Amino acid sequence: MPISSETLVGDRYRLIRQLGQGGMGRVWQGLDEVLGRDVALKELVVPPGLSEEERQELRERSAREARAIARLSHPNVVRVFDVFTGEGGDPWIVMEYVRGVSLHDAIPVPPRRAAEIGLGVLAALQAAHRAGVVHRDVKPGNVMLSDEGRVLLTDFGIATAPGDSSITRTGIMFGSPAFMAPERVHDSRTGPSSDLWSLGATLYTAVEGHSPFERSSPLATLTALVTEPLPPPQHAGVLRPALDGLLQKDPADRISAERAEQLLRAAVAAPLARAPLAIAAPPAIEAAPPVSPPRAVPALVATGRSSRRIPRAALLGGAAVLLIVAVLAGVLLTREPDRPSSPVAQPSTSPATISKAPVSPKVSPSPTPTPRISASPSPAPSGFQLPAGWQMRDDGTGFAVPVPNGWRFGRDSDGRAYWRHPSNGTLLLIDQTRHPKSDPVKDWRNNEAARRSGYRDYARVRLEAVDYWDKAADWEFTYTSSGGAALHVLNRGFVTAPDQAYSIYWSTAAGLWNDQADELQVVITGFRPARS
């Protein structure tokens, strides 16, 4: 019987929708009709062309995953409720349903947040290691961040545990090359220390936006892992001591789990001044405001790097690596450290998000016709009403701007306030100056001439004056980030007083631009300057 939504499996589990699919499995959201609770079901999907022996090997791996998780009862490990055999003899694993987002889709995160996540993953690994279970595939895609604040380690599909016969074939290592410990490449040794290396690579990725030895292919990645020194992290801040200890290539030099916990707790507790936040958004040149002279230092991040996606895995033959991907998904909900401005909209009573399979949008870097963001003839008029689910936010300098609930507040390396969508990366940044330029259009053209070469596949959509406050201009363009993502940007510069001007910088995935036009309009219409 074909498997689809509304199918009843295991005589009690009603499938609702597919959450994700990897090389060997699908993950479904389902309803346990006996207990009336939401569950996640992992279905084994056997690739075509395998022999019966190979099919049985995969079935054993699925049972192995269930046994490994069942050995653990820990708040940082996804729980297993049931295992049953479906039609055709393939097993299903029934697990708790987690509303959240994988770390893979929350990257990049600030060093302090990465340390908090690291403590949760480390606690899960310590519980597993005490039970004799080695995970072997710790990576951002297997770390869930629930909207209740939990950090959970998932996908024990290739874990090893006492009493399990090995299902790894001679000459093949299972795992993800970008997060695999060097000793596993050298001689296939696997132990708790190997999981600690993978934790270090995961946290490195969380703050840097890419894994330390990630290359264009699995073979190139493994070669770099074995032959090249660790690239020093540029954005680790207070996390650096923990990364240095976890990412020692020789297991004998690698720090213990206990020492890793000490260093991660120290990173979480460190004074904020020791961990300046640098956000991995557009290249450094992108956010220099039209209302102030070009800066001598990068405007957003000192390195000009962009957020990068971890490439999906492939099968590396002969020497190689079979990558198994299975994630549950949803949304990360974090507290914002900024403060609401008055008036404050009441939070929406509906859930902030719904769980979904994390999918990187397929977008084109070339500009397409988009809805024009119209200027408000009277910005932030007295009759302006905040939509449900929004709040007026400020950074203490006097302006206020509407921001959707749940967006994360921070400051870039130049101290400018920004808010970022918790899962899709959309960025709202406010810059300001007390020394406005006289002609916003001319200033944008000068900026474009000086900076367009820094944008890969740069394409202007429009650069023109708009009717907004005293005088204003929009610079709208598209480009491709260094990670390959097509982005669409609006940078609106405007003067509100002889000694006050602002820039509203809005950057999002090109494929989301049309869908977010209404949100951008709310931001522009509701902005309130400190002086006008």
Residues identified as active-site: 137
Q: Which of 43, 156, 145, 33 is nearest to 98 (CA)?
A: 145
Query: How far is C-alpha 445 from the chain's CA centre?
Result: 34
Q: Which of 43, 107, 89, 82 is nearest to 358 (CA)?
A: 107
The residue to which tokens 């907004």 are assigned: 468
Cis peptide before 343 (omega within 30 of 0): yes
CB half-sphere exposure, 446, CA atoms < 13 A:
13
Q: What CA–CA distance (Å, rounded) separates 474 from 296? A: 23
CA–CA distances in Å: residue 334 to residues 75, 106, 181: 19, 11, 31
42 labelled binding-site residue: yes
Q: What CA–CA distance (Å, rounded) separates 83 from 64? A: 11
- Both tokens of 396, joined, read 């203490």
Q: What CA–CA distance (Å, rounded) separates 231 from 445? A: 38
Q: Which of 53, 13, 49, 7 is nearest to 33 (CA)?
A: 13
CB burial of 430-453 (b: ≥16 within 10 Å; e: otherwise) equals bbbbeebbeebbebbeebbeebee
The residue to which tokens 């209302």 are assigned: 291
How many other C-beta atoms can be found within 10 angstroms of the C-beta atom of residue 89? Answer: 11
> Please, are residues 261 and 221 in contact by the beta-carbon 8 Å criterion?
no
321-322 and 173-174 strand pairing: parallel
How many other C-beta atoms can be found within 10 angstroms of the C-beta atom of residue 49? Answer: 6
Q: Which of 207, 214, 183, 332 is nearest to 264 (CA)?
A: 207
> Please, are residues 253 and 230 in contact by the beta-carbon 8 Å criterion?
no
Query: How far is C-alpha 297 from the chain's CA centre?
Result: 27
Which residues have C-beta within 8 Å of that of residue 273, sequence separation ≥ 6? Answer: none
The residue to which tokens 């640098």 are assigned: 278
H or E segment at 237?
none
CB half-sphere exposure, 373, CA atoms < 13 A:
31
H or E segment at 132?
none
- Both tokens of 198, joined, read 């993978």
| Residue numbering of the annotated binding site for ATP | 42
| Residue numbering of the annotated binding site | 42
